[in-house]
């Protein structure tokens, strides 16, 4: 397969996944903000989203203050912000357009209509209709896009690159959501009604509330939440699950340059496979997640060098 | 499956709409001079008369909806560039009886064969120039003549592998060739999509008519492209080279690549090493043998042509000259479809094939000749004047439709630079019943068959793309109005 085609497929799936996870993160922050708290605390939660995405400077250049409305506007509909949901949906569609002969008609139309509809929604319209509705819509469009991929695309190399993009992005994004929320939640760690709702919202943001109940049949504790989202092997948004898929799909597309990238993916996977949540928490969850996200970044870089923009063997 | 942009519909529209204002006799594809239905349209006419108007209206709405759906996908990027548009589809087919098609086909074969021989000749021994049939400076000083092609041997001696020859029918129904498009002719995807739509909407019509199939075009194209691979390559890698997603014919490029099952590449996907072309794949580099390129000569190789081209592949010309890759069409075909060379095509046929031309050329006055210029200046209100290097309906005067000022303006242009212009009599284009707002009314049309060549073998699928001017009486060249298309049926005996 043409490297450029693989590159477009990889990024098409990363951007739609990123849009979905951003919707999830904003949704959980929005829900948590409805629990009684000080204004400062609330604004800190919003600020954490900006910092998490390394957007402090870009945000400060356009918006005078950190508050719910400004952060939502910036992260939902700001066309100047390349990390906004608006931009992610646009970039997913642009990548799809460049390979519309490779993907199926259903996939193309799904991503294209998603972008068309997103483009036509102003931030005010989104607010008026209920921002929660919008986040649901983004999640559904992302699901639809995954569904048409699964239901219509030949499972050849193109499919493997799409899966690789989805899972790598999701691993990074789940780690981010956990990092930012765990961080905020942990210091107030006394047992209480507030915490229950906060942890509940976090679990819901990764569609893991019912999963948690089913898996533990017990009260929600931060340790178990971390365990579920990091180590659970069969939970589709956990880091372990994502790495299962990354390793598998990398094996399927391997070429003669990709040995080191495969080794690193395998190592990361093995560490998740044999890890205990006590050890991770003892090391410090924030430190552990930061290291994980760095390694995901290195993996993405390796995939890019090995497959997507190989140096021309001309020179 | 989209009917967006990429074709030069303006010119045909002008030529056609002009005729509404004049008193010429048009050939009607469906009706004879006495108002009777021509034999090959009889069954269609019966069907039309016996089919409830509501059903036809429903079917037209269905077609609109289907194209609208896809149209939406294209309107998107009209917003950035504004150059995409929808080309309407008409449900009345353009029907050509078998015998007429056979005659037309044999004329097209003859013509394209001679054009390929001409291209080979002018880049080699230049016999036709030595024989004085065409003035040497007309060819050698032409901007489309590529000296880099001199002495280069291309596989099978074929230069125009894909030719889109524009044909019209005048007063008595006789065919005229209006123009030979030998560079990167487009529109074949519309031909295929029109057929798909007609079969979906009116399967019963295909049961009543023996309509020659066209859907094997991509197979035929692939076969031709494989046949012209460089010597010694038994299983060639074929690719389609596109300028990219923002090109107006991008849909067609993706469509053809997908239908042929070959890679659609951009210039940046290819590189040249030791005069061999490779593409960058996820499994390393892979040699490329045949390139169906949809990029103009000027943009192909920044080292050889326009240095500012970001669409091309540096060094590809050298690889081509070395015979390590085949380009379809070849570099330098533009000289043969230039309007200043067009008048000589009948002579080419006589010179290379020793045959009389089977298809008519439109009589052409070459204004660089004193006598011709005098005639043109005296008859401007009746003539169509075209810039020699113009295309797409720009830089032309349509005498019968022009104002006095426009005619005077062209008179000055002609006097200042006579060799920049040719003139032709205004043709009465044939028409065909077409659904328009007020019901069914005759509208003018042309035909673009796609002629494929490799070695001694010239093939085409029956018919081609029929373009129809939808606006009645409009004298304005308004590209936003566009033309429409019709499915083209060649009936089998």
Place of tokens 């056609």: B16
* B209 occurs within a structural domain: no
CB contact under 8 A, A108 and B73: yes
The Cα–Cα gap between A69 and A53 comes to 17
For A139-177, write each residue's pLDDT tens digit: 999 999 999 999 999 999 999 999 999 999 999 999 998
Contact B8/B184 with Cβ under 8 angstroms?
no
* A299 occurs within a structural domain: yes
Would an 8 Å CB–CB cutoff place A305 in contact with chain B?
A: no
pTM above threshold 0.80: yes
Q: What CATH number should be reported for the domain holding residue B422?
A: 3.30.1490.270
* B110 occurs within a structural domain: no
| Dihedrals phi, psi of B177, to nearest 5 degrees | -90, 125
* A28 occurs within a structural domain: yes
CB contact under 8 A, B280 and A312: yes
Residue B272 C-alpha, separation from nearest chain A C-alpha, in angstroms: 7
* B418 occurs within a structural domain: yes
Q: Which of B269, B282, B285 sits opposite A313 (nearest CB)?
A: B285
Task: Give the count of domains, chain A.
Answer: 1
pLDDT at site B14 = 40
**Taking a contact as any Cβ pair under 8 Å apart, which residues of chain B between 229 and 258 contact chain A?**
244-245, 254-255, 257-258
- Give B467's strand partners: B446, B485
* A40 occurs within a structural domain: yes
* A7 occurs within a structural domain: yes
How many Cβ atoms sit within 10 Å of the Cβ of residue B102? 14
Would an 8 Å CB–CB cutoff place A312 in contact with chain B?
A: yes
* B74 occurs within a structural domain: no
* B419 occurs within a structural domain: yes
Task: Give the count of domains, chain B.
Answer: 1
The Cα–Cα gap between B59 and B92 comes to 12
| Dihedrals phi, psi of B162, to nearest 5 degrees | -125, 115
Would an 8 Å CB–CB cutoff place A10 in contact with chain B?
A: no
User: Which residue range(s) make up the domain with A214?
Assistant: 3-308
Q: What is the DSSP string of B351-366?
A: HHH-S--SSEEPP-EE
In B170-300 the beta strands, taken as DSSP E runs, fall at 175-181, 238-241, 263-265, 270-273, 276-281, 284-287, 290-293
pLDDT at site B479 = 33
* B416 occurs within a structural domain: yes
* A315 occurs within a structural domain: no
* A215 occurs within a structural domain: yes
In B, which residues are within 8 Å of A256 by CB distance? Answer: 284
* B64 occurs within a structural domain: no
CB contact under 8 A, A2 and B279: yes
Contact B271/B280 with Cβ under 8 angstroms?
yes
**Has residue B280 got a pLDDT over 80?**
yes
CB contact under 8 A, B245 and A98: yes
Q: A302-306, B181-185, B426-430: which range is least confident on average?
A: B426-430
For B387-415, write each residue's pLDDT tens digit: 887 655 567 888 888 889 999 999 999 99
ipTM attached to this prediction: 0.77
For A91-106, write each residue's pLDDT tens digit: 999 999 889 888 998 8
The Cα–Cα gap between A47 and B335 comes to 65
For B118-173, write each residue's pLDDT tens digit: 999 999 999 999 999 999 999 999 989 999 999 999 999 999 999 999 999 887 88
Contact B94/B466 with Cβ under 8 angstroms?
yes
* B232 occurs within a structural domain: no
Return the number of CB contacts < 8 Å for A and B. Answer: 64
Place of tokens 């040719």: B422
What average pLDDT score do residues A238-243 get?
Answer: 98
The Cα–Cα gap between A198 and A187 comes to 13
User: Which residue range(s) make up the domain with B387?
Assistant: 363-426
Would an 8 Å CB–CB cutoff place B81 in contact with chain A?
A: no
Selected residue of A1, A3, A113, A310 to mutate for chain B interface (largest B Cβ count, 10 A): A3
The closest alpha carbon to B249, from B291, B211, B295, belongs to B295
**Has residue B50 got a pLDDT over 50?**
yes
The Cα–Cα gap between A203 and A220 comes to 10
**B172 CB-contact burial (10 Å; exposed 0-12 / middle 13-18 / buried 19+):** exposed
Selected residue of A6, A94, A95, A100 to mutate for chain B interface (largest B Cβ count, 10 A): A100
The Cα–Cα gap between B377 and A209 comes to 86
The Cα–Cα gap between B418 and A43 comes to 76
B276-281 and B270-273: which strand pairing? antiparallel
* A314 occurs within a structural domain: no
């Amino acid at each position: 397969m043409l490297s450029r085609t693989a590159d477009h497929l990889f990024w098409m799936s990363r951007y739609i996944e990123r849009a979905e996870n951003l919707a999830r993160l904003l949704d959980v922050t929005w829900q948590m903000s409805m629990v009684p708290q000080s204004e400062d605390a609330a604004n800190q939660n919003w600020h954490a989203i900006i910092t998490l995405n390394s957007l402090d400077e870009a945000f400060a250049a356009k918006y005078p203050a950190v508050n719910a409305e400004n952060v939502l506007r910036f992260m939902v509909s700001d066309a100047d912000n390349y990390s906004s949901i608006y931009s992610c949906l646009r970039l997913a569609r642009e990548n799809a357009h460049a390979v519309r002969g490779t993907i199926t008609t259903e996939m193309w139309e799904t991503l294209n209509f998603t972008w068309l509809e997103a483009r036509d929604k102003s931030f005010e319209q989104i607010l008026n209709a209920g921002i929660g509705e919008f986040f649901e819509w983004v999640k559904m469009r992302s699901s639809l896009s995954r569904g048409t991929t699964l239901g219509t695309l030949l499972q050849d190399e193109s499919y493997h690159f799409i899966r690789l993009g989805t899972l790598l992005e999701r691993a990074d994004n789940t780690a981010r959501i956990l990092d930012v929320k765990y961080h905020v939640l942990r210091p107030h760690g006394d047992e209480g009604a507030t915490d229950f709702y906060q942890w509940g919202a976090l679990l819901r943001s990764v569609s893991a509330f019912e999963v948690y109940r089913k898996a533990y049949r017990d009260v929600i504790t931060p340790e178990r939440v971390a365990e579920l989202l990091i180590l659970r092997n069969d939970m589709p948004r956990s880091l372990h699950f994502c790495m299962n898929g990354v390793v598998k799909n990398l094996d399927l597309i391997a070429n003669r340059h990709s040995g080191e990238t495969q080794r690193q993916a395998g190592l990361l996977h093995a560490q998740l496979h044999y890890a205990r949540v006590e050890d991770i928490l003892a090391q410090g969850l924030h430190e552990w997640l930061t290291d994980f996200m760095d390694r995901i970044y290195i993996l993405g870089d390796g995939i890019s060098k090995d497959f997507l923009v190989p140096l021309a063997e001309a020179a | 499956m989209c009917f967006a942009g990429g074709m030069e519909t303006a010119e045909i529209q002008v030529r056609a709409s002009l005729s509404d204002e004049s008193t010429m006799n048009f050939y009607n594809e469906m009706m004879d001079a006495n108002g009777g239905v021509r034999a090959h349209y009889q069954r269609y006419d019966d069907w039309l008369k016996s089919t409830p108007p509501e059903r036809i209206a429903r079917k037209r709405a269905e077609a609109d909806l289907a194209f609208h759906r896809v149209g939406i996908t294209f309107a998107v990027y009209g917003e950035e560039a504004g150059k995409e548009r929808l080309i309407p589809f008409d449900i009345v087919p353009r029907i050509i009886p078998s015998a007429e098609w056979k005659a037309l086909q044999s004329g097209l074969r003859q013509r394209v064969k001679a054009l390929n021989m001409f291209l080979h000749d002018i880049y080699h021994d230049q016999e036709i120039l030595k024989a004085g049939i065409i003035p040497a400076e007309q060819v050698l000083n032409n901007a489309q003549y590529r000296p880099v092609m001199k002495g280069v041997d291309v596989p099978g001696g074929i230069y125009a592998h894909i030719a889109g020859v524009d044909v019209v029918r005048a007063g008595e129904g006789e065919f005229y060739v209006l123009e030979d498009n030998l560079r990167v002719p487009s529109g074949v995807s519309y031909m295929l999509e029109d057929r798909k739509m007609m079969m979906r909407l009116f399967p019963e019509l295909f049961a009543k008519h023996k309509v020659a199939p066209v859907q094997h075009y991509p197979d035929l194209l692939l076969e031709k492209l494989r046949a012209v691979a460089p010597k010694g390559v038994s299983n060639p890698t074929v690719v389609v080279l596109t300028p990219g997603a923002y090109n107006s014919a991008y849909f067609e490029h993706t469509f053809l690549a997908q239908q042929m099952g070959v890679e659609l590449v951009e210039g940046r996907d290819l590189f040249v090493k030791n005069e061999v072309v490779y593409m960058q794949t996820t499994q390393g580099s892979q040699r490329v043998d045949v390139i169906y390129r949809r990029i103009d000569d000027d943009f192909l190789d920044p080292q050889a042509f326009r240095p500012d081209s970001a669409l091309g592949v540096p060094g590809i010309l050298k690889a081509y000259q070395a015979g390590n890759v085949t380009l379809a069409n070849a570099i330098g075909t533009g000289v043969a479809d230039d309007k200043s060379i067009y008048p000589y095509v009948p002579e080419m046929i006589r010179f290379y094939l020793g045959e009389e031309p089977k298809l008519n050329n439109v009589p052409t006055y070459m204004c660089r000749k004193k006598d011709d210029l005098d005639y043109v200046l005296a008859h401007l209100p009746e003539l169509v004047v075209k810039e020699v290097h113009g295309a797409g309906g720009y830089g032309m005067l349509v005498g019968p439709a022009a104002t006095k000022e426009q005619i005077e303006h062209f008179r000055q242009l002609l006097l200042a630079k006579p060799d920049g212009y040719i003139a032709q009599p205004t043709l009465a284009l044939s028409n065909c019943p077409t659904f328009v707002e007020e019901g069914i009314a005759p509208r003018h049309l042309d035909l673009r068959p796609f002629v494929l060549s490799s070695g001694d073998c010239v093939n085409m699928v029956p018919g081609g793309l029929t373009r129809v001017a939808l606006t009645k009486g409009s004298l304005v060249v308004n590209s936003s109005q566009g033309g429409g298309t019709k499915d083209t049926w060649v009936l089998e005996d």
